[in-house]
Amino acid sequence: MTGEHETERHGAWVRPHMDWGTIGRARVRLPGPAPETPAAIGDVELMPLSREFYGWWLWARGSRIMPSPEDVNPRPLVEILPYLR
């Protein structure tokens, strides 16, 4: 199915997730306390989803430069996965 009908079919489940209120409530689900996550990096303000993802990144990497492949688990990211591309 393509064209207009395809858009209508996907719009029913996509539209609620694109509401700013819904986006602003999406959180990562960490098993422990979240690290202190800055609201900006340099002069770039982080949007709520970016800040959530960055908080997960800081938590997953611990004291290393970046998380290892074993640290990447979609379970804590389930609420923000629809927004990652």
Provide the strand spans (E) within the chain.
Answer: 40-41, 44-45
84 against 39, higher pLDDT: 39
pLDDT digits (tens, 9 = 90+) for 20-62: 677 778 889 998 888 889 999 999 999 888 999 999 999 999 9
CB-neighbour burial class of residue 79 (10 A; exposed 0-12, middle 13-18, buried 19+): middle
> What pLDDT is attached to residue 8?
54
> pTM to 2 decimals?
0.73
> What pLDDT is attached to residue 67?
93
Flag the least confident range among 2-16, 18-32, 62-76.
Answer: 2-16
